[in-house]
Amino acid sequence: MLANAPHRLRTASFYLVFAGVITACQSAPHDVDSLTPPPLNTKIPTTKLSQAQQQLDSLQFTAAEADFQTILKSSSDQITLQQALAGLTLVYLHPQSPFLSVALATATIDRLHQQMTRWPQNAPSLNLLIFSLKLSLAQRLTINEEVRLRENAQTQQQQLLNETFMLRRALEKLRQLTLQ
């Protein structure tokens, strides 16, 4: 049961983060008095973002990552950029993703936070997401540390078993010598 705990923790944290992304994508109407972001880039239809999110939901990480990167390169709409960054973070944090990377996830979260600081219109809906992503990242780091400690303990245990075996052999030889 304890052996499955890291896997269950990863799965639970992923679903928490994914729920945050869904919440962020369903943002409330924007405050008119706040800073106005650059105009919406019509080259990138909102269906591209929806498509990338659906690919992420169906665990097609390569396609989702490519679509999110395309959106980041070609869109000037701040809300779309923020949602693409959030999606990329999920791609980098998912335990089954071939792009799993704590460093990339951290850099992407930092970039998302900078976007939110510059253009805070979508901040209320993304605050929960950022909290969830940070929590997921902290859990990933904790799991990585626990795995490292477990591997060190296993290595030390193997060394002790080898020493025990060698001492038993030496003791057996000593008994044989004393019986002669």
Tell me the per-residue pLDDT of 125-177, one tens digit each, with 9 for 90 and over.
666 677 677 777 788 888 888 999 999 999 999 999 999 999 999 999 999 88
The answer on pLDDT for 86 being more than 70 is yes
**Average pLDDT of the segment spanning 17-42:** 48
How far apart are alpha carbons 166 and 180 in whole angstroms? 22
Q: Nearest-CA neighbor of 26 among 136, 144, 152, 124?
A: 124
Cβ atoms of 85 and 75 within 8 Å: the answer is no
- Within a 10 A sphere around the Cβ of 64, how many other Cβ atoms? 25
The model's pTM is 0.56
Percent of the chain with pLDDT over 90: 23
Look over the chain and give the mean of its residue pLDDT values, rounded to a whole number: 77
pLDDT of residue 79: 80
pLDDT of residue 27: 47
